Amino acid sequence: MKVNGKQFRTIRVQKGDDKVIQVINQPLLPHKFEIMDILSCREMAKAIENMNVRGAGLIGAAAGYGMYLATIEASRQRDFDSHLEKAAEMLVATRPTATNLSWAVKRQLKAINKAEGLADKVKAAFDTANAIADEDAECGRKIGEHGLPILKEIADRKNGEPVNILTHCNAGWLALVDYGSATAPIYAAQEAGIPLHIWVDETRPRNQGSRLTAWEMEQAGIPYTIIADNTGGHLMQHNMVDICITGTDRVTRTGDVANKIGTYLKALAAKDNKIPFYVALPSSTFDWEIRDGIKEIPVEQRSDEEVKYAFGLYNGQMTKVLLTPPEAKAANYAFDVTPSRLVTALITERGICQPNEESILNLFPEQR
């Protein structure tokens, strides 16, 4: 993705110093584009927990680099294994819903344990972190390729009218290493000359839609309109949405989908209005161990402050303002689960499948 015309990824190794990992400090967007240096596994864990880096794919890549930094640190300790184990636990505990996090940590532990000698272990961790990041970006690109025909078919029916796509949260370039998941077909359609218009759910309480997706659309020059979270149903009733595409943080082997809180309500409204509801994901987001999303996917609960306060630009300064009675109680469930029956299909890097075990496993036979 380009930022002010310059090619960027959401995470990278600093040129000239491969012990420094650089990420975009996302809470400052869209007002400030700042690169943040991460020098230790603990700093990476904090960056994930505080959502300086966020989005399932990017969290996975960040955890990969976090494990690499932990390996450097562990190689200076007396007990390499126990240091690494603690680092893995610390990273996994930061955000419980996105499965990419534990997937990346497990992949790192396997690669590091296989290598012999400290220098080789550090090298294995570095190579694996880079591979996770590269694969995530490539998954985004392929999701775009596979999703494009869906948008093309709608565009053909609309005779030059823009395809209206509703998306929730930020499943864009900022949520993966590149391209995004839900936005990848959008970028591919833009490149194919398909006229588009994106309905961007603001996505309270962290406003990933109105801050991040809107900024991405600006950067890409794609027409969009931000809507308050409760608007989607009304738009769908009035034929103003052709398709919903969201990302996801965890998908069961049966096709239940966890995503940012509010996704389920959009899927219900889409079903009621016969609007296709697609979910885009890299396969690192499948949790192959579970079948029942509502019972088995852990839903992260975050600080009530995120609900009670808004954070934005005031007089040129990033400012936090209280919205509620100071002593008000607030609940902050960060994700919900959309049952597979409400999902039209899943768009993955290997192609499109139905949200059921048989169809998913046809695409990923190694998980049978």
Q: Which are the catalytic amino acids?
A: 249
- Is residue 29 helix, strand or coil? coil
Q: What is the DSSP string of 228-280?
A: -GGGHHHHHHTT--SEEEE--SEEETT--EEEETTHHHHHHHHHHTT--EEEE
Shortest gap between Cβ of 126 and ligand MRU (angstroms)? Answer: 24
Shortest distance (Å) from residue 334 CB to ligand MRU: 6
Please enumerate in sequence order all residues whose Cβ is within 8 A of that of 114, keeping only pairs 6 or more positions apart, or say none: 124
Shortest spacing between CB 250 and ligand MRU, in angstroms: 9
Q: Rounded distance, CA 197 to CA 221, Å?
A: 11
Question: Site residues (CB under 6 A) for ligand MRU?
Answer: 54-57, 169, 171, 175-176, 181, 208, 247-249, 259-260, 334
The DSSP string of 282-321 is: -GGGEETT-S-HHHHSPPPB--THHHHEEEEEETTEEEEE
Cβ proximity to ligand MRU: between 219 and 284 the closer is 284
Query: What's the CA gap between 360 and 284, in Å, rounded?
Result: 13
Strand, helix or coil for residue 22? strand
Longest Cα–Cα distance of the chain, Å, equals: 68
Which residue is at the shortest CB distance from ligand MRU? Answer: 247
**Distance of alpha carbon 325 from alpha carbon 171, whole angstroms:** 32
Q: Which is nearer to ligand MRU, 112 or 184 (CB)?
A: 184
Query: In angstroms, what is the minimal distance from the CB of 105 to ligand MRU?
Result: 17
CB-CB contact of 48 with 62 (8 Å): yes
Contacts 24+ apart (CB under 8 A), 52-55: 52/23, 52/25, 52/26, 52/27, 53/10, 53/11, 53/23, 53/24, 53/26, 54/26, 54/170, 54/174, 54/175, 54/208, 55/10, 55/170, 55/171, 55/172, 55/174, 55/175, 55/176, 55/247
- Nearest to ligand MRU of 36, 115 (CB atom): 36
| Nearest distance from C-beta of residue 315 to ligand MRU, angstroms | 27
Which residue's CB is nearer to ligand MRU, number 74 or number 175? 175
CB of residue 160 to ligand MRU, shortest distance in Å: 30
Q: How far apart are alpha carbons 58 and 65 in whole angstroms?
A: 11
Residues 6+ apart with CB under 8 A from 340: 252, 254, 255, 256, 257, 293, 355, 356
CB of 54 to ligand MRU, least distance (A): 4
CA distance 290 to 268: 23
